[in-house]
Amino acid sequence: MDYTIADNALKDKVILVTGAGDGIGKQAAISYAEQGATVILLGRTVKKLEATYDAIEAAGFAQPAIVPLDMKGATKQNYIDMVETIEGQFGRLDGVLHSASQLGVISPFEQIDEETYDELMQVNVKAQFLMTQAVLPLLRKSDDASLIFTSSTVGHSGRAFWGTYAMSKFATEGMMQVLADELSDTSVRVNAVNPGATRTGMRAKAYPAEDAMTLKTPLDIMPLYLYLMAPESKSVNGQCIDAQPKR
């Protein structure tokens, strides 16, 4: 996407980013902070979250917060408590980027084991559902709120061997569409991003033989992530947008 955000366009906004310790989520958190947002870094590996925190602090951006949470085991109450803490500490929430996801195993459909299926659906779908339910009351209080889910090319066109991951991304797009329709008359817009092939750990796991240097970096795809949090996208709702439409 060809978009340049105005300097400091996210000033005073509070944005929660899941999967903020690595890959696209890490870069998005830094990029949002660079434009003035206070970012809340959610993920399961504290060391990685601390590295994102340190990068934001070293750059002199607004002080972030860390929420260490394994979405595999997190309960509805955990998310409710998290939102209470966010409201108590920051008084508001203007954006959520759901970037955390697991890839699982690329395998023939008949070999998908139940445990892998359950774990992926838990992290990629149910955890996002529970977290979204919990954050919505606070998002509704913002006059310009943006909720972003993360899909994939296999989230709207099934592909052999992508099994549970693909199914979880179809569910993610479904959740986004249902919610966008329900919230169409509110100040909360709901969209999804399809990042396209991006140089991260997840991509390397899915395509171990690929030359990663041929891929776009998380920084390269940030214009779309910034656009969807910025005021210019206020009327965009219910869309799944490709960060790399020509790929």
CA gap 37, 33 in Å, rounded: 5
Minimum distance, C-beta of residue 184 to ligand NAP, in the bound complex (Å): 24
CB of 12: closest distance to ligand NAP in angstroms? 26
**Of 34, 67, 139, 203, the one binding ligand NAP by CB under 6 A:** 203
Kindly state whether residue 191 participates in binding ligand NAP, applying the rule CB under 6 A.
Answer: no
Which residue type occupies 33? A
Residue that has been written with the tokens 């989520």 in this structure: 25
Residues 153/158/160/161 CA torsion (nearest 10 deg)? 70
Residues near 188 by beta carbon (within 8 Å), at least 6 away in sequence: 136, 139, 140, 142, 145, 146, 147
Q: Is 72 in the site for ligand NAP (CB under 6 A)?
A: yes
From first CA to last CA, the distance across the chain in angstroms is 12
3 is catalytic: no
Q: Which one of 52-60, 89-97, 179-187, 194-202 is the stretch in contact with ligand NAP (CB under 6 A)?
A: 194-202
**CB-nearer residue toward ligand NAP: 109 or 207:** 207
Residue 137 is a binding residue for ligand NAP (CB under 6 A)? no
* Residues in 215-244 at the binding interface with ligand NAP, rule: CB under 6 A: none
Residue nearest to ligand NAP (CB): 23
Task: Tell me how many residues contact ligand NAP (CB under 6 A).
Answer: 27
**Shortest Cβ 104–ligand NAP spacing (Å):** 10
Pairwise CA distance, residues 236 & 68, whole Å: 31
Among positions 96-115, residues that touch ligand NAP (CB under 6 A) are: 99-102
Which member of 32, 79, 165, 227 is catalytic? 165
Angle between helices 23-34 and 222-229 (to 10 degrees): 50
User: Considering the rule CB under 6 A, would residue 25 count as an interface residue with ligand NAP?
Assistant: yes
64 is an interface residue for ligand NAP by CB under 6 A: no
Query: What b/e readout covers 56-73, taking b as 16+ CB neighbours within 10 angstroms?
Result: beeeebbebbbbebebee
Alpha-carbon span 121 to 101, nearest angstrom? 10
What is the contact mask toward ligand NAP in residues 115 to 134, using x (rule: CB under 6 A)? --------x-----------
- Toward ligand NAP, which CB reaches closer, 70 or 182? 70
Which residues, 149 to 168, sit near ligand NAP by CB under 6 A? 150, 152
At 199, which amino acid appears?
R
Contacts of 22 (CB under 8 A, 6+ apart): 43, 45, 48, 200, 201
- Which residues are near ligand NAP by CB under 6 A? 19, 21-25, 43-45, 48, 70-72, 99-102, 123, 150, 152, 195, 197-198, 200-203
Catalytic residues: 165
